[in-house]
Structures are given as C-alpha cells and as structure tokens.
C-alpha cells in the first residue's frame, strides 16, 4: 500500500506531500482538504493545486544541479 501511495504521489507532482512537510501535517490530511474543498466549491481548488504543482516543479528544476563541461 505504501508503494502505491508513493507512486501516485510522485506522479501527482508531490504537492500534497510538499505542503504537508512545510506545514508539519500529514499529507493525507492535505489530500482530504483538496478533495472536500473540490466537492464543496465545484472544483475551484484544482486551479490552486495545479498552480502549486507548477511551483513545486519549478523549485525542483532550479534546485537540480546542472553539470558543466568542466565537471567530471
């Protein structure tokens, strides 16, 4: 079960786990917030989720070490 959750979290941009780590709460609680908020507001938190996914991917891209021609 843990491997399945890790796979889906990796494929779903890692937004919930990143928010959970930053806020110090369980990522499952963040996921449930997005699910309930989406049902109550007819999907508008999906826009927030996609924006956060964009930010997380940009952050990962900027933190990745790029190799140069001088690195061996």
Q: What is the pLDDT of residues 11-55, one digit of tens each?
A: 666 788 888 888 899 888 888 888 888 888 887 888 888 888 888
pLDDT at 17: 80
Does the pTM exceed 0.75? Answer: no
pLDDT at 28: 85
**Closest by alpha carbon to 18, among 38, 36, 34, 40?**
34
**21: CB partners within 8 A, 6+ apart:** 27
Q: Where are the domains of the chain?
A: 2-63
| Residue 62 phi, psi (nearest 5) | -70, -30
Distances in Å between the alpha carbon of 51 and those of 38, 45, 58, 66, 67? 15, 10, 11, 25, 29
Q: How confident is the model at residue 1 (pLDDT cuts 50, 70, 90)?
A: confident
């Amino acid at each position: 079960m843990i491997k399945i959750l890790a796979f889906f979290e990796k494929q779903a941009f890692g937004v919930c786990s990143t928010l959970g780590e930053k806020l110090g709460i369980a990522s499952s609680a963040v996921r449930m917030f997005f699910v309930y908020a989406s049902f109550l507001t007819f999907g508008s938190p999906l826009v927030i989720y996609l924006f956060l996914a964009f930010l997380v991917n940009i952050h990962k891209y900027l933190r990745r070490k790029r190799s140069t021609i001088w690195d061996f």
